[in-house]
Amino acid sequence: MDFKIVSKTLVLAVASSTLTLSAYAQWQWVDNAGRKVFSDRAPPVEIKDKNITKRPADKLNSANQPLIETLVSGAPTGLSLVNAPRISGKDAELESRKKKVENEEILKKKLEEEKVSKIKSDICDRARINLATLKSGIRMTSANANGEREYFDEARLAAETLRTQDVIAENCR
């Protein structure tokens, strides 16, 4: 198939469907001479906004009109963007998804902080109980590598007391 024939057919099909729709999109304005003008195209730039009495309901169709006219006429370039729809630059759905993700991250951080806080509180409670036991004067024992019981001597008791105090200082704030 010849590319030119296919492309012209496609352009004509798109143009005819758009032109059919644009018949409903009528513009009405008063020109500089005071005459009423009816058209399916937007008024020229020099026509003031207050002189435009009727606009088409389909803004998207009127914005695409210069592009279709260029394609049908075969003009190389020079597309007019005067009537192109204005984009605000903000996507409401994207913004809401971002907000949702941010809220989920904040919730995750809060839950993680609560979990860490609970673990530290538990460590603190156990360390205080251990320190009270070490200072009570009860003979302390532990199992060695062979599973045999060994009694704490004064040096080991002092070392365990210091280690427990460090744990309390780190976790009990």
pLDDT at 166 exceeding the cut of 70: yes
Q: How far apart are the first and last CA of the chain?
A: 81
Half-sphere exposure of 133 (CA within 13 A, CB side): 12
Which distant-in-sequence residues (6+ apart) come within 8 Å of 93 by Cβ? none
What does the pLDDT read at residue 21? 46
Beta-bridge mates of residue 28 = 38, 54
pLDDT at 126 exceeding the cut of 90: yes
pLDDT in tens, 2-49: 556 655 665 555 555 555 544 555 888 899 888 998 888 888 888 888
pLDDT in tens, 71-90: 555 555 554 555 555 666 67
Is residue 103 included in any domain, yes or no?
no
Beta-bridge mates of residue 38 = 28
Q: Which of 73, 101, 120 is the last residue of a domain?
A: 73
Is residue 123 included in any domain, yes or no?
yes
Same domain, 8 and 67: yes
Beta-bridge mates of residue 29 = 37, 52
Beta-bridge mates of residue 30 = 36
Distance, CA of 39 to CA of 65 (rounded, Å): 12
Q: Which domain holds residue 48?
A: 3-73
pTM of this prediction exceeds 0.75: no
